């Protein structure tokens, strides 16, 4: 399947690497292709520059946001949440329209230090902002509640016995994403929270998630909804 992944950072690398490994035709999108190709310095968080990472994932193509949105039959938004709306505008509404957009981004605002606050929350969410800005795109919020490695390999902790959430306005799109989460990545327990306003819930979960990371000393954890 032709898949577009917007964003070259840790989440973009995890998603595109896994999808390429599964044999999909993956393009990763960036704002400035030349700049991304020229940058070889590891990110301060420890993951490699995309250009370095790509040498070990040679089937993954690099393109502009627009190239990538055009390429994908489905598109993943793995950009920084505070820049997602701008990145999606560069990707182009006509390239995104009527496609499923899996929105993984979190609107984390690090401008006041760490832990970050959210740049939108409580009575709105990034997922809703994206859906409003692109009314004909089928936005499904998913995967934004776990660290990148777990997104595509939940079995890395607790034998995969934990929970992931989806929400969005299009029932068929959510059913499709749920199937992908299970089939491609190995998720066993996927809870459909409802429409895209539920992105407020999964995005506002980030503050406790970041604090659990601090308390546990690792991002390799997730919650299992016990019921």
Binding positions for a second copy, 105-134, rule CB under 8 A: 112, 117-118, 121-123
Q: Which of 200, 192, 201, 188 is nearest to 174 (CA)?
A: 192
Which of 136, 160, 130 has the alpha carbon at shortest distance from 221? 160
Residue 183 or 214: the one with the smaller Cβ distance to a second copy is 214
Q: Write the interaction track for a second copy spanning residues 127-166; mark x where CB under 8 A is met and - where it is not.
A: ------------------------------xx--xxx-x-
Q: Residue 53 in 3-state DSSP?
A: helix
Smaller CB distance to a second copy: residue 1 or 216?
Answer: 216
Per CB under 8 A, does 24 bind a second copy? no
Report d(CA 119, CA 127) in Å as an integer: 12
Q: Are 137 and 199 in contact (CB under 8 A)?
A: no
Instruction: Examine residue 201 and tell whether it contacts a second copy (CB under 8 A).
Output: yes
Contact call for residue 55 and a second copy (CB under 8 A) = no
- Torsions phi, psi of 184, nearest 5? -80, -45
Using rule CB under 8 A, residue 63 touches a second copy: no
The residue range among 9-17, 60-68, 129-137, 202-210 that interacts with a second copy, by the rule CB under 8 A, is 202-210
* CB neighbourhood size of 58 (10 A): 8
Nearest Cα residue to 205 out of 175, 171, 163? 163
Does 22 bind a second copy (CB under 8 A)? Our answer is no
Q: Among 52, 172, 175, 225, which residue interacts with a second copy (rule: CB under 8 A)?
A: 225
Number of residues counted as binding a second copy (CB under 8 A): 41
- When asked if residue 207 is in the footprint of a second copy (CB under 8 A), the reply is yes
Stretch that binds a second copy, among 6-14, 52-60, 96-104, 185-193 (CB under 8 A): 185-193
What are the structure tokens assigned to 56, written together?
């070990």
* Minimal distance, residue 176 CB to a second copy, in Å: 18
Exposure string for 118-150, b = 16+ CB within 10 A, e = fewer: bbbbeeebbbbbbbeebeebbbbbbbbbbbbbb
- Return residues touching a second copy (CB under 8 A): 112, 117-118, 121-123, 157-158, 161-163, 165, 167, 191-194, 198, 200-202, 204-205, 207-212, 214-216, 218, 220-227
């Amino acid at each position: 399947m032709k898949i577009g992944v917007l964003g070259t950072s840790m989440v973009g690398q995890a998603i595109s690497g896994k999808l390429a490994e599964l044999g999909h035709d993956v393009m990763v999108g960036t704002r400035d292709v030349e700049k991304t190709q020229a940058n070889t310095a590891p990110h301060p968080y420890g993951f490699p520059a995309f250009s370095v990472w790509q040498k070990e994932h040679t089937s993954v193509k690099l393109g502009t946001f627009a190239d990538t949105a055009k390429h994908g039959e489905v598109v993943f938004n793995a950009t920084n949440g505070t820049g997602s709306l701008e990145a999606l505008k560069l990707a182009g509404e006509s390239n995104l329209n009527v496609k499923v957009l899996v929105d993984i981004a979190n609107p984390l605002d690090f401008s006041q230090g760490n832990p970050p606050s959210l740049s939108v929350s409580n009575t709105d969410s990034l997922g809703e902002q994206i859906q409003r800005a692109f009314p004909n795109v089928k936005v499904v919020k998913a995967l934004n509640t776990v660290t990148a490695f777990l997104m595509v390999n939940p079995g890395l902790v607790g034998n995969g016995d934990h929970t992931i959430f989806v929400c969005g306005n299009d029932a068929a799109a959510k059913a499709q994403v749920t199937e992908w989460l299970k089939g491609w990545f190995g998720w066993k327990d996927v809870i459909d929270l409802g429409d895209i306003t539920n992105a407020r819930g999964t995005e506002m979960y980030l503050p406790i998630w970041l604090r659990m990371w601090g308390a546990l000393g690792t991002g390799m954890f997730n919650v299992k909804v016990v019921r």
